[in-house]
Amino acid sequence: MVDMSSNFDSVNEARKGTYWQPFTSNRLLRADPEPRMLTKAEGIYYTSINGTRLLDTLSGLWCTPLGHAHPRIAEAVKTQVETLDFAPSFQMTHPGAISLAERIAEMAPEGMNHVFFANSGSESVDTALKVALGFHRIKGEGNRFRMIGRERGYHGVGFGGMSVGGIVSNRKMFAPCMMPGVDHLRHPYEPEYAAFSHGQPTWGAERAEDLQRLVALHDASTIAAVIVEPVQGSTGVLVPPVGYLERLREICTQNGILLIFDEVITGFGRMGAPFAAQRFGVKPDIITFAKAVTNGVVPMGGVIVTDEIYNTFMTGPESAIEFCHGYTYSGHPLAAAVGHVVLDIMESEDIFARVRALEPVLEEEVHGLKDLPCVSDIRNIGLTAAVDMKPIEGKPGARWSAVFEEGLRQGLLLRCTGDTVSFGPPFVASEQELRGMIASFRKVLEAVG
Ligand code: PMP
């Protein structure tokens, strides 16, 4: 249990900064008179340290779609710890990892039958990049070393993921140490496109031609892979225009380039299908996943690869280990057990159908905010949505703080980045709860103007 005893003053301890928090303005937080701490979670609600109930508008960090404190997951954790709490992942395994890989492969697009486990989205992305490099090298095309990412892409914080990612603030402190040979596509969203798209926009697909430019610039024979999030999540739900992903696929196929879909957010149901690949009808060569596979309860991630990629490794030059890569906790028994029960729940409750049924509700509600004078654009797809706010004059990107604080007052835990608020509610939220969430958010926007 967390130490909540009267002799542990967590508020004052937090102010000391012994715990250096990730992706957080630590200085601001330490000075905050209101402690920002959560102490309990159940269903779609958190409870903060001062007892306020907060609706979980982003499913944790896009990772708890089945809600919190699920009794079947709690039971699975307990049973697994008592049965097999750890198994070495090198030259040894356990049945749970194998059977989970099989279930994931069954959910994946046809011909993607091989799963390599990692523990986070960042590790999954770095694994995918290494698979791509290894694949070409085994085929005698070791000159294919370049990676193409995308502006505004987020692929985690490993050196590989950071390099192919396109978020300036995540890169600038480490700039000289990026992975070599990386270039970026332009992202398919421009402020002038801001047109309150419902689902996939019908404009902007021509941005896929940008890949032709990079192929011509670098020569196809030097490019290993293109990596994109099918829907850019962390930078504000940027939805692929109709035809965009299809065109990327075409150009990759024509040039022997692997296409990687980073499905850390979109995988396991958020698009109303197992993966975005199926929602958009475009099959990549590699899919990365994490987050929802274990409902955020135990860290897990991984990559799914095509038979061609796997077989290339398995039939390549004889070597003791075909792919010198892996983690102590790859396919961890606890994560595998939770993964199984998550997939059981998703199947037995027909969760993807539920997401498809809730999508129009979220769409209707969120676009109902269009009349507010501070709103500049709204986008949605699957069970995701984002609302852009007009920047405060002279202070672009400064909206988040006031909106976040007002959200807490209105009973919402909001995900605010710059002038954008993103929504990724739990799949188990009811229609009523989704409508209530947006109604409370309207009050937030009215209060901050
Ligand atoms: N890829 C994508 C698309 C993500 O959204 C994220 C996290 N939001 C990551 C990678 C990194 O995942 P993690 O934080 O688990 O390393």
The Cα-based distances of 416 to 265, 379, 403 in angstroms read 16, 15, 7
Q: What is the pLDDT of residue 32?
A: 80
All structural domains of the chain, each given as residue ranges with its CATH number in brackets, are: 37-69+350-448 (3.90.1150.10), 74-348 (3.40.640.10)
Regarding the beta carbon of 264 and ligand 1, being less than 6 Å apart is answered: yes
Regarding the beta carbon of 154 and ligand 1, being less than 6 Å apart is answered: yes
Euclidean distance between CA atoms 370 and 388, whole angstroms: 10
Of ligand 1's listed atoms, the one at least distance from the Cα of 161 is 10
Of ligand 1's listed atoms, the one at least distance from the Cα of 266 is 3
Contact residues for 335 (Cβ-Cβ < 8 A; gap 6+): 117, 119, 294, 298, 299, 300, 329
Q: What is the pLDDT of residue 28?
A: 84
Q: What is the pLDDT of residue 136?
A: 97
Regarding the beta carbon of 429 and ligand 1, being less than 6 Å apart is answered: no
Regarding the beta carbon of 166 and ligand 1, being less than 6 Å apart is answered: no
Contact residues for 229 (Cβ-Cβ < 8 A; gap 6+): 150, 153, 154, 155, 261, 262, 263, 264, 265, 266
Strand order through the sheet with 53-56: 38-42, 45-48, 53-56, 412-413
Half-sphere CA count of 73, side-chain side, radius 13 A: 24
Distance 447 CA to ligand 1 centre (A): 32
Distance 186 CA to ligand 1 centre (A): 20
Euclidean distance between CA atoms 39 and 391, whole angstroms: 33
ipTM: 0.99
Q: Among residues 303, 343, 324, 350, which one has the least CA distance to residue 127?
A: 303
Q: What is the pLDDT of residue 174?
A: 93
- The model's pTM is 0.97
Distance 268 CA to ligand 1 centre (A): 14
3-state secondary structure of 359: helix
3-state secondary structure of 118: strand
Question: Tens-of-pLDDT digits for all 449 residues of the chain?
Answer: 666 655 678 778 888 889 999 999 898 888 887 778 999 999 999 999 989 999 999 999 999 999 999 999 999 999 999 999 999 999 999 999 999 999 999 999 999 999 999 999 999 999 999 999 999 999 999 999 999 999 999 999 999 999 999 999 999 999 888 999 999 999 988 777 778 999 999 999 999 999 999 999 999 999 999 999 999 999 999 999 999 999 999 999 999 999 999 999 999 999 999 999 999 999 999 999 999 999 999 999 999 999 999 999 999 887 779 999 999 999 999 999 999 999 999 999 999 999 999 999 999 999 999 999 999 999 999 999 999 999 999 999 999 999 999 999 999 999 999 999 999 999 999 999 999 999 999 999 999 98
Strand order through the sheet with 258-262: 114-118, 301-305, 286-289, 258-262, 223-228, 146-150, 182-185
Main-chain dihedrals φ then ψ at residue 241, nearest 5 degrees: -60, 155
Residue listed under structure tokens 């090298």 = 137
Q: What is the pLDDT of residue 221?
A: 98
Q: What is the 3-state secondary structure (H, E, C) of 377-429?
A: EEEEECCEEEEEECCECCECCCCHHHHHHHHHHCCEECEEECCEEEECCCCCC
Euclidean distance between CA atoms 385 and 295, whole angstroms: 20
Distance 125 CA to ligand 1 centre (A): 8
Q: What is the pLDDT of residue 6?
A: 57
3-state secondary structure of 133: helix
Q: Return the sign of the alpha-carbon dihedral for residues 34, 425, 398, 376.
A: negative
Contact residues for 108 (Cβ-Cβ < 8 A; gap 6+): 274, 275, 277, 287, 304
3-state secondary structure of 213: helix
Regarding the beta carbon of 228 and ligand 1, being less than 6 Å apart is answered: no
